[in-house]
Amino acid sequence: MEVLVHNEEKIPGEIVEKAIAMMEREEGRKVVELTIRRTENPDEYGITPIFEKMPFQRIRRITGYLVGDLNRFNNAKLQEVVDRVKHSA
């Protein structure tokens, strides 16, 4: 996937590539869009990345356990979940 780069100040591509690699390494996911600009300090750049979306996993506290899904619950625990009183906001 190609990264969409907004580089109005024509910062060298080598610097842009290093910035993308650094952010992907630190964040652990791919950059899909990037805005880069110069700052007052000649050794620094202002970088605004947009990363690929990650799937959202709901975490719930059920009967004292933090769980993402109910795959490992036995029938008794599943019935507790069904019987719970659901509160609305």
pLDDT tens digit sequence for 29-85: 999 999 999 999 988 889 999 999 988 877 777 667 777 777 878 898 888 888 887
4: pLDDT strictly greater than 70: yes
* Report field, pTM of the whole predicted structure over 0.75: no
pLDDT value of residue 89: 65
pLDDT value of residue 1: 66
88: pLDDT strictly greater than 90: no
Please give the span between the terminal C-alpha atoms of the chain, in angstroms, as a whole number: 40
